[in-house]
Structure 1
Amino acid sequence: MKEACERYGLRRSMGETGICWNNAGAESLWSTFEHEYYYRHTFAYRTELVAAVDNWMNFYNTRRRHSTIGMLSPHSYE
């Protein structure tokens, strides 16, 4: 994969295999979702879970306060 990207002049979004911080942002996001929402709810159908993820992501990305931006929501920060 690395060689193919280099051949076509593409910049990869990940580093070498085994570097722990490649997925740190994604892992943090899903861990937060699991602890703040998933473990506190029961889903009878897959469609309920998909809708829950969509709703939570909308909340997380627009209204939830984030410590990295001074405990403001992204809307307030912008």
Structure 2
Amino acid sequence: MARVCSIRGSRVRSGGRINRSGLAKKKGGIGRHVTKVVKRKVAPNLQTKRIWVPELGRFVRVKLSARALKTVTKNGAYTVLKEAGII
């Protein structure tokens, strides 16, 4: 299964990790320099949860990010899932 949040649509993004060398000028060196940039992946914090929807009277299993879980808690399960097109 893809690593995608079913509510927000957050997915794996690519980024760069920067390696630096040298001593900062402030500390008496000649300055910091970038020596290498390495590609890396930034994955969302995904959870598989069973969410109780009182309006339907049943559980709904969804794969969502931690941010989306906070949204569900704040706005209510039925509203958020309906808006996302899951139910």
TM-score normalised according to structure 2 size: 0.20
TM-score normalised according to structure 1 size: 0.21
Greater length-normalized contact order (CA 8 Å, ≥ 6 residues apart): 2
From the two aligned structures, give the one with the greater strand fraction: 2
Larger Rg: 2
